[in-house]
Amino acid sequence: MKRFAALYLALDASNRSSRKLAALADYFADAEPADAAWALWLLCGERLRHPVPTRVLKLAAMRVSGIDEVLFADCYEAVGDLAETIALLLPDGGADDGLSLAAWIEQRIQALRGLDPDAQVQALAALWRCVDRGDAFVLNKLLTGGLRVGVSRGLALRGLAQATGLAAEVLAARLAGGWRPGVEAWQTLVSPAPSRPTGAQPYPFRLAHPLEQPPEALGAAGDWLLDWKWDGIRGQLLRRESAHLWSRGDESLDAGFPDLIDAALALPPGTVLDGEVLVADGDGVAPFSALQRRLGRKTPGKALLASHPAIFLAFDLLEHGGDDWRERPLWQRREALEALLAAPDGGLARIRPTPTVSAADWDAAVDQRQAARQLRAEGLMLKRRESVYGSGRPRGDWWKWKLDPYTVDAVLVYAQAGHGRRAGLFSDYTFAVWHDGQLLPFAKAYSGLTDAEMREVDRFVRRNTLETFGPVRSVRPELVFEVGFEGIVESNRHKAGLAVRFPRMLRWRQDKSAADADTLDALRCLLG
């Protein structure tokens, strides 16, 4: 445990990728297999299921530190991070008992689950006595499920690649599909013997970068394949011995989309498709809000399956006839994909190739992109015709060229303190537009301002608070911001009758007063 805590603190303290990479490689080179497996699992963004409720964790911390609930709440508000707050309140003098990371997780942390609250409080007090303050911070991160550090999955795999001599792409492929930590799993992961995904195991996903330059900078338009960027769930549909559906986050979607699993059985064995999971609306696609009705349902009922039929729009062919096609050029993979899905088999009606976009030059592509919203797409994908299907986010060959966001000018009406780096600052905001002479809240956002702007807004919130509701403050309605979002739909669950997708602040409109803000009618005009 102590070695992993030291690694975590070293990663957290550095902003340089080279230093993080060296720390990761050193750890993986010397760690025991069970510890290394858990460390990689955690550093790749996975979380332990909460072994204790947050209220029990807070109660245990208050009893050990000897402070009351009011003082604990004040400390938490000042620090902004529960794990750090508890670590700072614990008494000094914890003694390290030398237990490994794997033993801590498997024998102590996971053993907390299922105990009654009083027993959990006593067990937590005993755990904290076994660690010093620095290690207690990392332990608390494990307990809260908030162990996040500035390391991407790709950087963690590069560190492991440096320690093992295996290619990061090989490691990524072996991790795909819900890898679970353990000694045997670790030995399979780092084995020098060649391997490839089999059975229900997907391939690592290839991702695109946002296009932040004119498309003309990419060269001739003829060197690129263009298709629509859909607003759905990215997935891989596998047909090997049986059929499986995986999300980009390595989550199995088999149970939630039985209609797609049944359809995939019509594919020839040895086929893996990359594409987008959507809900059909006639011959087109429904908005994301319709897909949300299907998400999280482990056993969707017949009525929902009929009213919200899922479709899979495929844009790449990763495995064909049991062979790995990822190193073949994209144009060849697309030709084979379209030929495969053009077969007159009624079972494939739910699995379609995504339409390609014809554009003789970039001016024509600009015109096509503007039509995306009519199709309920977010923009265009630009992929070099000769590109292979790598893993992760290699730069240069795949770009997402999204539409400019919808925008409205809205008034800041509520503010809430942030957490982590934004602890102590009011950084999470609720915005409103005018309706019948009143300001009606319609969106929350917390990104888009510079640190200096956020500090200035924080000062305004503190000086212009009207009411306090726990951690939330209502403020004098004076500040106006341009708020951008990707989509808008009608919603009975929101007071404004509308819901927006991915709201964020584009700029602070210091040139406008609250009276100049937009109206609910202006928002409704964007519904299309």
Catalytic residues: 229
Number of other CB atoms surrounding residue 436 within 10 Å: 7
d(Cα 495, Cα 433) in Å, to the nearest integer?
12
d(Cα 270, Cα 320) in Å, to the nearest integer?
6
Exposed / middle / buried, residue 420 (Cβ in 10 Å: 0-12, 13-18, 19+): exposed
Which letter, b or e, does each residue of 52-68 get, where b requires 16 or more Cβ atoms within 10 Å of its Cβ?
Answer: beeebbbbbbbebbeee
Q: Is 527 left (phi over 0), alpha (psi -120 to 50) or beta?
A: alpha
d(Cα 333, Cα 327) in Å, to the nearest integer?
9
In DSSP terms, which residues pair with 406 in a beta bridge?
A: 485
Q: What are phi and psi of 453, to 5 degrees?
A: -65, -40
DSSP run (H or E) holding 127: helix 117-128
- Identify the DSSP state of 52: S
Q: Look at the block and give the residue holding tokens 């780096």.
A: 421
> Is residue 229 within 8 Å of residue 413, measured between CB atoms?
no
> Is residue 257 within 8 Å of residue 309, measured between CB atoms?
no
The angle subtended at Cα 485 by Cα 350 and Cα 406, nearest 5°, is 95
> Is residue 257 within 8 Å of residue 245, measured between CB atoms?
yes
Q: Look at the block and give the residue holding tokens 């030929």.
A: 339
d(Cα 351, Cα 179) in Å, to the nearest integer?
27
